[in-house]
Amino acid sequence: MEELSFSDLPRIFFNMDVMEGQWSLLLSGMWVTLEIAVISIVLSTVLGLFVALIRIGEDKLLNVLLIAYLEFCRATPIVVALIVVYFGLPFLNVTFSPFASAVIVIVFVHAAYIGEAFRSGILAINNTQTEAARSLGMTKFQTLRYVIIPQAFKLVLPTLANQWTGIIKDTAICTILAITELLKAAQIISTWKANPTPLVMSTVMYLIILLPLTLTTMKLEKRRGSKN
């Protein structure tokens, strides 16, 4: 059998001939990934905030429901959730496009985590502040809007950023649906040309998107750590 050698590496993993004329597909895949990511990040953050606000209220039933929701999301692999939403729901006459299913599943799962993060952030803010704000004649909504949420947001920002990184990474799992996102585009070219170079290129693209975010997250975490 022929020996596998280090010198084969560039020919197989960095073979730019393979990529010729294929960059547009890869870039459009990256665009789709970014679209899913951005929409999911915005929606799940908003939804997470709502979840947190309901959780800090003391409605028992809603609280129990939301705890069940959180535990459910923590125990379900995204792959499984995607399959059920994408292939399962159509048989109940609820058909989402691949893009919509991806966003729905990611938002559904991550909103639970983000809600938990917001909740701990809100709870960490001193109760006396609420009382002070209320005694100044602010309504409950105003207290939340102007006093608690801005502070909580700062407090949970590192956790949030971490969660956002997670969302971008999870878009890679959506490749099991019929969306041509970054990983799927890479796989298409890769099997077409019988060469793994596109996969390597997609890794590089993922790193270009994710490295700055991770670095920022870690900086934020450090700052929070030094404050405590």
Partner 1 sequence: MMNTKKRGKNKYSTTIISSVLLILFFIYFLFFSNADWSLFKEQFLNFEKMEGRYYIFISPFFLVLKISFFSCFFASLIGLCFAVIRNYNFKILDMLITSYVVLFRSIPAMVLVVLVYFALPFVGLNLPSTNSVIMSLSLLFGAYTTEIFRSGINSVDKLQIEASKSLGMNSLKTMRFIILPQAMRVVIPPLTTVLIDVLKTTSIAYVVGVPELIARARQMEGVIGSVTPLIFVSILYFLIILPVVILSSRLEKRSRKWSKA
Partner 2 sequence: MKIFFKKSLILFSIYTLLSASAWAQTVFSADEVEKSENDGRLHVGLVITTPPRSYYENSDPNQPLTGYEPDILNEIAKRIGKEIVYYDVAWAGLFTGLLAQKWDVAASNIFINEDRLKMMDFSEPHFDTGMGVLVEVNSSIKSLKDLKNKTLGVDIGSGAEVWLRENMDRFGPYKIQSYNGTPDVFLDVQTGRLDGGVSDLSIIDWYIESHKSRLKRGTTLGEFYNVGFAFRKGSPIIEDVTKAIREMKKDGTIGEIYFKYHGVYPEENNSAYILYDQGQK
Query: Which of partner 2, partner 1, none binds 192 (CB below 5-8 Å, type-dependent)?
Result: partner 2
Question: What residue ranges bind partner 2 (CB under 8 A)?
Answer: 1-2, 4, 12, 87, 90-91, 95, 97-98, 175-176, 178, 180, 184, 187-188, 190-196, 199
In the complex, minimum distance from the CB of residue 79 to partner 1, in angstroms, rounded to a whole number: 5
User: Of these partners, partner 1, partner 2, none, which one is at the site of residue 78 (CB under 5 to 8 Å by kind)?
Assistant: partner 1
- 213, containing H or E segment: helix 197-227
The string of DSSP letters for 123-151 reads HHS-HHHHHHHHHTT--HHHIIIIIIHHH
Distance from C-alpha of 183 to C-alpha of 172, rounded to nearest angstrom: 6
Query: Looking at beta carbons only, is 21 or 92 nearer to partner 1?
Result: 92
Residue type, 35: E
- What are the angstrom distances between the C-alpha of 77 and each of 81, 110, 176, 195, 210? 7, 12, 13, 30, 22
Task: List contacts with partner 1 (CB under 8 A).
Answer: 4-6, 8-9, 12-13, 56-62, 65, 71, 74-80, 83-84, 87-88, 91-94, 123, 127, 130, 140, 165, 169, 172-173, 175, 183, 196, 199-200, 202-203, 206-207, 210-211, 213-215, 217-218, 221, 225
Query: Which of 179, 200, 162 has its CA nearest to residue 32?
Result: 179
What token pair was written down for 8? 């084969």
* Residue closer to partner 2, measured from CB, 188 or 209: 188
Which option in partner 2, partner 1, none does residue 180 bind, with CB closer than 5 to 8 A by kind? partner 2
Query: CB of 89: closest distance to partner 2 in angstroms?
Result: 9
Query: Least CB distance from residue 174 to partner 1, whole Å?
Result: 10
Among residues 119 and 184, whose Cβ is nearest to partner 2?
184
**Closest approach of Cβ 1 to partner 2, in Å?**
5
Q: CA 149, CA 74: separation in Å to the nearest integer?
A: 25
2 makes contact, choosing from partner 1, partner 2, none, with CB < 5 to 8 Å by partner type, with partner 2
H helix intervals, 171-196: 182-193
Nearest distance from C-beta of residue 46 to partner 1, angstroms: 19
Contacts of 159 (CB under 8 A, 6+ apart): 117, 121
Q: Give the separation between CA 29 and CA 45, rounded to whole angstroms.
A: 24
